[in-house]
Amino acid sequence: MDSLTTAAASGMRSRMEALDLLANNIANSSAPGFKADREFYAQYVSAEAAQDPGATVLPVVQRNWTDFSQGALVATGNPLDIALSGKGFLAVKGPSGVTFTRDGSLHISPQGELQTNDGYAVQEVGGKAIQVDPAKTVEIAPDGTIRQDGQDLSRIAVVDFPDLTALNKRGHAYFSSDVPPVPSSALVEQGKIESANSQPAENAVRLVGVMRQFEMLQRALSIGTEMNKRALEEVARVAS
């Protein structure tokens, strides 16, 4: 392919990847604690083309990155809902080990274990699962201390990571990491939930922009294809 059609095709592919990310952000815009994914663009030049100043540079999505900015904290009135104000994550016991989340929609299991809505046990400082009395009111202090009947029972493990790129997304609101976490200074706010930081209005604007870019690239590809077709027809006519 010539440089026009090659660049247009590469641009279309990168916009398709961007559309996939946008679709996932839109689908999870109402999920508590969800963190939106973004794309990071770069330019690709092959090793051979790098020696040629006139070589075609292709736009590609080099990698995806997660936007960890805090979503709005929404009051629910449910004493088992908690939101983190500041940087940090709740440490919970997932199917494959300890995972981390900003989704504080909690409940108490019949066995008295404090869990996320997905059934993952919330960990206390020290790594154990938190046990409470299901029949008694749960009070949660800003530092994560859990009280019942005026007695301190446990303290929720709120952790952070110096480098958030060490986190890998698992599902809609969970993350894993091979790097040990550190204590966080985030405040625990009882009776609130952190909404997704992926807003429908913003996603709609970005979706329109990406679709327009895709249409322009598609038009450029069609023009390049037509030009190549006419060039071949002209060569064939002259040769005959």
Which residues is 147 bridged to in the sheet? 139, 152
Predicted pLDDT of residue 50? 46
On whether residue 133 sits in a domain, the answer given is yes
Instruction: Kindly state whether residues 48 and 86 are assigned to the same domain.
Output: no
Average pLDDT over residues 185-210: 87
Kindly give, in sequence order, each residue whose CB lies less than 8 Å from that of residue 47, ignoring residues fewer than 6 positions away: none
Look at residue 201 and tell me if it is in a domain: no
Q: In 10 A of CB 196, how many CB atoms?
A: 22
Confidence band of 7 (pLDDT split at 50, 70, 90) = low
Helix (H) or strand (E) holding 160: strand 158-160
Per-residue pLDDT at 226: 74
Highest mean pLDDT among 35-44, 69-78, 203-212, 229-238: 69-78
Mean per-residue pLDDT, 75-87:
96
Task: Judge whether 204 lies within some domain.
Answer: no
Domain count, the chain: 2
Helix (H, G, I), strand (E, B) or coil at 184: coil
User: In this structure, how many other beta carbons lie within 10 angstroms of the beta carbon of residue 114?
Assistant: 26
Task: Flag whether pLDDT at 223 surpasses 50.
Answer: yes
Q: Which domain holds residue 45?
A: 3-67+209-239
> DSSP states of 167-205 as a string?
-EEETTTEEE-SSPPEE--PEEEETEEEPPS--HHHHHH
Same domain, 96 and 179: yes
Q: Do both 111 and 185 map to the same domain?
A: yes
Do 109 and 169 lie in one domain? The reply is yes
CA end-to-end span of the chain: 24
Do residues 80 and 111 share a domain? yes
At position 238, the amino acid (one-letter code) is: V
Average pLDDT, rounded, for the chain = 84
Question: In terms of domains, do 178 and 225 share one?
Answer: no
For 95, the 3-state DSSP assignment is coil
199 inside domain: no
Whether 91 has a pLDDT exceeding 90, the answer reads: yes
Q: Write out pLDDT tens, residues 12-66.
A: 677 777 888 888 888 898 899 999 988 765 454 444 444 555 545 555 544 578 9
pLDDT the model gives residue 189: 98
84 and 148 in a common domain: yes
Residues 174 and 80 in one domain: yes
pLDDT given for residue 13 in this prediction: 73
Residue 81 and residue 160 in one domain: yes
How far apart CA 115 and CA 31 sit, in angstroms, is 17
**Exposure b/e, 43-79, CB count within 10 A at least 16 = b:** eeeeeeeeeeeeebebbbbeeeebebebbeeeebeee
* Structure confidence at residue 198 (pLDDT): 85
What are the pLDDT digits (tens) for 107-153?
999 999 999 999 999 999 999 999 999 999 999 999 999 999 999 99
Residue, of 37 and 1, whose pLDDT is higher:
37
24 with 110, same domain: the answer is no
pTM (2 d.p.): 0.75
The length of the chain in residues reads 240
Q: What residues are paired with 98 via a beta bridge?
A: 93
Asked whether residue 228 falls in the same domain as residue 175, the answer is no
Q: What is the pLDDT of residue 61?
A: 47
State the burial class of residue 99 (Cβ atoms within 10 Å of its Cβ: 0-12, 13-18, 19+). Answer: buried
| Range in 45-49, 90-94, 192-196 the model is least confident about | 45-49
Residues with Cβ within 8 Å of residue 235, at least 6 apart in sequence: none
Residues 95 and 188 grouped into a single domain: yes
- State the average pLDDT over residues 181-210: 88
Q: Is residue 200 part of a domain?
A: no
